[in-house]
Amino acid sequence: MAAENFESRALAEHWISHRLADGRESVFFADPGHALPMKIVDDRALDPRGEPGELRFDRLTGDWVAVAAHRQSRTYLPPKDQCPLCPSVGGRHSEIPAEDFDVVVFENRFPSLGPSLGQIQTPGAGEPLAAQPVPAVGRCEVVVFTPDHSGSFGSLSDERARTVVEAWAHRTRELSAKDGIEQVFIFENRGQDIGVTLHHPHGQIYAYPYVTPTAKKIAQQAREHFEKTQKTLLGQILEAEIADGSRIVSRGEHFTAYVPYAARWPLEAHLVPHRHVPDFAALTKEEKDELAIMYRDLVRRFDALYDSPTPYIAAWHQAPINAADRAATRLHLQLTSPRRAADKLKFLAGSEAAMGAFINDITPEQTAARLREVSL
């Protein structure tokens, strides 16, 4: 694309890309009616980017494992005046070289995957069991929701929540087109009990050079169902949940939130589009508008259950990039929390951690009723 056309499209879509001092890409997104910063200069003296970590293939399970020893030195729960996700003000330089912003996405300084891109090859049955590791190619990005150091996605305004959704759609489209990327995963870890290393409201995006085990399992179920019925599995699950009604949390014109029939966690809710779409990039403007508010309000419902913020993982399941999976696998959110009481957490012990066999202490119907009844 010509530079002029690229710039025109970027401004029309309210985003602008630039490079940090060590070459990492950073993309600014603006709320409707807000101006984009046109001159962004990162004058930090940063070390050159290191080589990727390793990907090792586990013969026992058939899964890839990333080995990223360099992440041991990443920033861990810094005080507010040292937060790398706050604006750069008063002579203090952060990862965001601007005094103010709306939403920013940048390449992680301590990535599990990348910075190099490329394709990987799964070892064959006749190759050595301990095959040589390959570079951990791919991309890891950080999505900063707001310049405010405190809060969460649930505290965002309508406009800001919508800008974050637009950023997710943009990054899904861009990352899906990069060399060797097989799956784009958008997620947010919220709360120290989940294991966050930065308090500032943010999420992450991983662009994998392989299909992850969970995505592979979901895609296989979806493909098999579609081949037998010519209907999408998640679409029929949604119809069944709506018909039953006991686990519905909220409904809109384009999305429905419900607690799944076989919920694994004491707090778990899914947010599913009524139309079959494989990923964020395939959503219409109207669907993005509704999704931003319904997801924001679902997070608020989790927080309203107790007197303190609820730790959670927001996992956006998108279809793998290959065409067969996109025809059958539908975009959806899985929002989970290990909080089973005001002062108790569910830990993954023997059955869950070792066998993947979950045991839930709370019925999904009870959880749905509690989420419906809270005041927003």
Residues 141 and 11 in one domain: yes
- Lookup: tokens for 109: 């300084």
The whole-angstrom separation of Cα 304 and Cα 338 is: 15
Q: What is the dihedral of CA 278, 283, 288, 294, to 10 degrees?
A: -30
**Last residue of a domain, which of 160, 188, 207?**
207
Residues 189 and 61 in one domain: yes
**Last residue of a domain, which of 207, 232, 256?**
207
Q: Which residues contact 351 (CB under 8 A, 6 or more apart)?
A: 357, 358, 359
pLDDT at 65: 96
| Average pLDDT of adjacent 10-residue blocks, the chain of 376 residues | 50 83 97 87 92 92 92 83 93 93 97 96 78 91 97 96 98 98 97 89 97 97 96 98 98 98 97 98 98 98 96 97 92 97 92 94 97 91
Whether 337 and 285 have beta carbons less than 8 Å apart is answered as no
The whole-angstrom separation of Cα 277 and Cα 290 is: 15
Residues 23 and 161 in one domain: yes
Candidates 237, 332, 241; CA nearest to 282 is 332
Distance of CA 305 to the CA centre of its chain: 23
Residues 291 and 257 in one domain: yes
Beta bridge partners of 65: 56
As annotated, the active-site residues are 202
Residues 199 and 221 in one domain: no
Q: CA 216 → CA 71, 140, 173, 213, 272, distances in Å? A: 26, 20, 20, 5, 19
Residues 190 and 265 in one domain: no
- pTM confidence score: 0.94
**Last residue of a domain, which of 181, 207, 233?**
207
- CATH code of the domain in which 46 resides: 3.30.428.10
Domains of the chain: total: 2
pLDDT at 3: 47
Q: Which residues contact 358 (CB under 8 A, 6 or more apart)?
A: 264, 265, 351, 352
Residues 173 and 52 in one domain: yes
Residues 221 and 254 in one domain: yes
The whole-angstrom separation of Cα 19 and Cα 60 is: 41
pLDDT at 130: 67
Candidates 309, 297, 225; CA nearest to 256 is 297
Q: Which residues contact 67 (CB under 8 A, 6 or more apart)?
A: 53, 54, 55, 56, 133, 136
Domain extent for 120:
3-207
Residues 239 and 121 in one domain: no
Q: Compute the residue count for the chain.
A: 376
Residues 253 and 172 in one domain: no
Provide the 10 A C-beta neighbour count for residue 175: 23
Q: CA 70 → CA 43, 49, 162, distances in Å? A: 24, 11, 34
Residues 14 and 156 in one domain: yes
Residues 123 and 265 in one domain: no
Residue 227, burial from CB neighbour count under 10 angstroms (0-12, 13-18, 19+): exposed
Beta bridge partners of 187: 204, 315
Instruction: Give the chain's largest Cα–Cα span.
Output: 62
